[in-house]
Amino acid sequence: MTLYRALADELAELITRGTLQVGDRMPSVRQLCREKKISPATAMRAYEALEAKGLLESRSRSGYYVSANWREPQHEPQSSRPRSRKTRVDVSELVFEILESARDRDVIPLGSAFPSPLLFPWAKLARYLGSSARHTDPWSTVESLPPGSEELRRQIARRYLLFGTRVLVEEIIITSGALEALNLSLQTVTRPGDTVAIEAPAFYACLQAIEIAGLKAVEIPTHPREGVELGALDLAIRKHNVRACWFMTTFQNPLGATMPPEKKQELVQLLARREIPLIEDDVYAELYFGNERPKPAKAFDTKGLVLNCGSFSKCLAPGYRLGWVSAGRFAKALQRRKITSTLATSVPIQNGIALMLREDGYDAHLTRLRQAFKTQQADALRSLRKHFPAGYRVAIPDGGYFLWIELAKNIDVLEVHRLALEANISVAPGPMFSARREFTSCLRLNYGHSWTPVMDRAIEELGKIIKTMDGKKGRPTA
Amino acid sequence: MTLYRALADELAELITRGTLQVGDRMPSVRQLCREKKISPATAMRAYEALEAKGLLESRSRSGYYVSANWREPQHEPQSSRPRSRKTRVDVSELVFEILESARDRDVIPLGSAFPSPLLFPWAKLARYLGSSARHTDPWSTVESLPPGSEELRRQIARRYLLFGTRVLVEEIIITSGALEALNLSLQTVTRPGDTVAIEAPAFYACLQAIEIAGLKAVEIPTHPREGVELGALDLAIRKHNVRACWFMTTFQNPLGATMPPEKKQELVQLLARREIPLIEDDVYAELYFGNERPKPAKAFDTKGLVLNCGSFSKCLAPGYRLGWVSAGRFAKALQRRKITSTLATSVPIQNGIALMLREDGYDAHLTRLRQAFKTQQADALRSLRKHFPAGYRVAIPDGGYFLWIELAKNIDVLEVHRLALEANISVAPGPMFSARREFTSCLRLNYGHSWTPVMDRAIEELGKIIKTMDGKKGRPTA
């Protein structure tokens, strides 16, 4: 457990046991540092975590106070308990219906998969793109066939080193976004009919990829803060002939869960013993709120079995469609798959982003972006506390821009989705994230957009819809 | 038959029958126009065609003369006669070996699939790319999800109209290059195990796509000038349960064949009667040497069964990876496939090319590009006549940048490929283009690069290799 979380837990206990009372002023950050012999950053982070949970509230120029809200503490959802049978996946139609219903610019994007496009450095990106295009060697358009631009792959390998992960330039293959990287990985390490272990709930594009590739899925119980349960995974591997795992190990979509480093290491070792490849969807990790980027499972990979998939779409350049995979021992086979499916990735895009990575500016942008998401998370949680009926559970992630909310069992979220859309609000209902359309009382909410009064009112409206449904008996679910 | 080709055939007969003798001066273009009541363009095109075939030679400021070369007339290859059974495709490994061996910048690219990158308007493209990126509405990065930029799709639909083809903006889906469009089309209209009718020889990426999708191929006899034989196709459809056709109807790669318009219409009607979709690979059609762009089969499609796939990679912006498919009745299903496989196509790339199409400059570039390929074709044919041993056959296409050459039956082109590569010359051997690795004595040569003395010497070297092998008995082929 991280230091700040231990401290937060300790303080939370003082509050819930009544040692600290509603309205009490908390020690100042300076006092707390002196007393606990910790850094100001750790103290601040602990207070912010407690604020996010609704236990504290900050008053400007005065410090933190015990909030009246804590009497309705926000519990986390528990680990999922999916059936342990393997299953055909049948969710694509539902996902498309929901995605298409929410594409309108005028719909409030609580169900969106994307953060606000206003948070990204478009002018700077345009400059680098134009400049690198003007200086492109025409021959490079032929030579940048897969694996892709060597300069870009070198920059990506350099960034892996920043968080203690050694990746060879030779194993990196540039793709048109992370989704292509993930699909190519899946196609490279499986054959139709194979079984793949996934999280429950899982990212819907993972479910669609499995469905389209003619694979079967086995859903593994997943903890909302610490990710896949390894004991359950081990059992599933013994029981089914699992040929690959597809996990999002950091800020999992939709849960927000992050496996602690030691758990990631254990996962890699467990799979290595059986030579099972891990497709690691790692697109949110740069959006951490703590002090450093969580290491990927790839950092512990000694046998080349982890295919770590990344992207610039969530953290630098949405819509540019630039991703990659560090494919370990599968690099050569995956490169060939890429050549036969989309041939190559856009050369000006590769060169433009490579230039931006070399010339600096990326880290400063990331710092701003993380701060925005962190603030917006606290704002969103505040709106929820204000407007949602008591009894919901929410997992509070340490990064990313999604909240996973568990409502009362009798609430049918597909109906919530339908009613919300009538009020011009999108939500992402739980069944989108499940091979068997489970999680029928869960929602994923996006806080990646400026938390304006419009957003607060949207949450209020959602709260009303849920309260109304809570009064009646929920519709029977499919 | 086009007017110029009828005239060329008439003049060719006068030469081969001896009415016109070696060294005779031909009528001037003006005389010919007066006499035949044709346009100067038609007369010029007929003379150029005869020059390309080696029957005439032009002398500067003096006109055209009957060439001494015609005594070794360059016959066309005959229609292919593939086996009429359906077959698993097993060519991917061979294709990769050959492609990878030829990626070195120092290898003379007679085997390359790409034209010279020096023929494209890089500075202008960079300007449009930078400019459109600077003015991108951030929200468009979300809204340009498939089907893609509406402005770009409108520009593409407008260009279809220029050659008499009406396509709805709504049926166009933007892709990351034509290969993605083709793959998505194939996956949309077939299920694993289905049978697809293809040309013989066929573009190797088509063979690889079929192999990877777990489909079977039935190869249809194909004429080197007029494309797929419809009688044979009809038989194959009756015999096998053909679920789709994948044909390159204009300047087919590798043959260079172009179906005449009435044949394209007949093809569309034949398939419409059986509701069989046609995947039309149409990426070379803008590279015509005649007076107008050949119409695609799509122009005759009344039932929405033709999926016409295009690209800017061969004619405007290599390496940008921008293509599209006009998918008719399959548009919605194909759009969903795209979302699940690569999500979207790069927004700055879409906007940059859309701006270039709107702002003009594309047609002027195309005119220059066509002229370059036309001149280089004549140069390449001259080198072949000079250096290749007599008896080879060559089909002379009316566009594109490939020549398909049939050598004596005992020549093993895989061995030619190996020996040429030792001399730093790449060639594309026939078996790359065949599900069963047939066409063992055929070569595809690329004339898309400036025909410098280096190219002439490469052809000379190839000629020597072939002569040496012709002396011995060719190796037994697989």
Banded model confidence at residue B67, pLDDT cuts 50, 70, 90: confident
Note whether B346 contacts A208, CB cutoff 8 Å: no
Angle between helices A362-387 and A453-471 (to 10 degrees): 40
Residue among A127, A183, A319 whose CB faces B141 most closely: A319
- Kindly list the residues from chain A whose CB atom is less than 8 angstroms away from the CB atom of residue B122: 133, 136, 138
- Kindly list the residues from chain B whose CB atom is less than 8 angstroms away from the CB atom of residue A177: 342-344
| Calpha distance A3→A6 (Å, rounded) | 5
Residue among B129, B214, B322 whose CB faces A130 most closely: B129
B136 to chain A: closest CA residue = A122
For A186-219, the pLDDT digits (tens) are 999 999 999 999 999 999 999 999 998 999 999 9
- Kindly list the residues from chain A whose CB atom is less than 8 angstroms away from the CB atom of residue B214: 192
Whether A407 contacts A443, CB under 8 Å:
yes
B97 to chain A: closest CA residue = A336
Whether B187 contacts B196, CB under 8 Å:
no
Nearest to B351 by CA among B58, B92, B141: B141
Note whether A138 contacts B129, CB cutoff 8 Å: no
For A322-377, the pLDDT digits (tens) are 999 999 999 999 999 999 999 999 999 999 999 999 987 899 999 999 999 999 99
SS3 B415: helix
Cα of A428 to nearest chain B Cα, Å: 17
Q: Phi, psi at residue A465, to the nearest 5°?
A: -60, -45
Q: Count of CB contacts below 8 A, A vs B?
A: 176
Residue among B129, B140, B192 whose CB faces A192 most closely: B192
Q: Phi, psi at residue B133, to the nearest 5°?
A: -65, -40
Whether A181 contacts A309, CB under 8 Å:
yes
Structure tokens that stand for A337 in this block: 């798959």
For B289-313, the pLDDT digits (tens) are 988 999 999 999 999 999 999 999 9
What is the reported pLDDT for A308? 98
Residue among A96, A134, A179 whose CB faces B343 most closely: A179
- Kindly list the residues from chain B whose CB atom is less than 8 angstroms away from the CB atom of residue A320: 346-348
DSSP readout, B448-459? -S---HHHHHHH
Whether B279 contacts B328, CB under 8 Å:
no
Class of the domain covering B1-73: mainly alpha
Exposure string over B175-184, b if 16+ CB within 10 A, otherwise e: bbbbbbbbbb
Mutation pick from A346, A369, A432 vs chain B, by most beta carbons of B within 10 Å, is: A346
What is the reported pLDDT for A36? 86
Which ipTM value was assigned to this complex? 0.86
Residue A365: other Cβ atoms inside 10 A:
17
Task: Mark residue B401 as left, alpha or beta (left: phi above 0; alpha: psi -120 to 50; beta: remaining).
Answer: alpha
Fold topology of B121-361: Aspartate Aminotransferase; domain 2 (3.40.640)
Consecutive H or E run containing A428:
strand A428-429
Banded model confidence at residue A180, pLDDT cuts 50, 70, 90: very high
Mutation pick from A321, A325, A337, A338 vs chain B, by most beta carbons of B within 10 Å, is: A321
Note whether A343 contacts B349, CB cutoff 8 Å: no
Check whether B28 has a pLDDT greater than 80.
yes
Residue among B103, B125, B348 whose CB faces A320 most closely: B348
Angle between helices A178-189 and A204-212 (to 10 degrees): 40
Whether B213 contacts B186, CB under 8 Å:
yes
Residue among B209, B319, B343 whose CB faces A347 most closely: B319
- Kindly list the residues from chain A whose CB atom is less than 8 angstroms away from the CB atom of residue B176: 176, 321, 342, 345-346
**∠ Cα B471 B99 B185 (to 5°):** 125
Cα of A289 to nearest chain B Cα, Å: 25
For A362-407, the pLDDT digits (tens) are 999 999 999 999 999 999 999 999 999 988 999 889 999 999 999 9
B96 to chain A: closest CA residue = A336
| Calpha distance A161→A172 (Å, rounded) | 14
Q: What is the mean pLDDT of residues B452-463?
A: 97
- Kindly list the residues from chain B whose CB atom is less than 8 angstroms away from the CB atom of residue A174: none
- Kindly list the residues from chain B whose CB atom is less than 8 angstroms away from the CB atom of residue A120: 138
Report how far apart, in Å, the C-alpha atoms of B396 and of each of A137, A464, B50 are. 32, 73, 10
Report how far apart, in Å, the C-alpha atoms of B412 and of each of A225, A400, B425 are. 63, 59, 16
- Kindly list the residues from chain B whose CB atom is less than 8 angstroms away from the CB atom of residue A136: 122, 126
Residue A243 buriedness (CB in 10 A; 0-12 / 13-18 / 19+): middle
Q: Which residue has the tokens 């990927």?
A: A296
Residues facing B311 on adjacent strands: B323
Structure tokens that stand for A281 in this block: 């969807």
Read off the pTM: 0.87
Cα of A247 to nearest chain B Cα, Å: 17
| Calpha distance A111→B416 (Å, rounded) | 59
Domain coordinates in residue numbering, chain A: 1-73, 121-361
Note whether B344 contacts A138, CB cutoff 8 Å: no
Cα of B386 to nearest chain A Cα, Å: 30
Structure tokens that stand for A44 in this block: 């601040």
Banded model confidence at residue B83, pLDDT cuts 50, 70, 90: confident
Task: List, in sequence order, the alpha helices (H) in B26-71.
Answer: 29-36, 40-52
Note whether A96 contacts B205, CB cutoff 8 Å: no
Residues facing A281 on adjacent strands: A309
| Calpha distance B149→A129 (Å, rounded) | 19
Q: Determine what percent of chain A is predicted with pLDDT higher than 90.
A: 72
Pairing of strands B402-406, B393-395: antiparallel
Domain A1-73 and domain A121-361, same fold? Reply is no
B341 to chain A: closest CA residue = A180
Q: Which residue has the tokens 């490994």?
A: B93
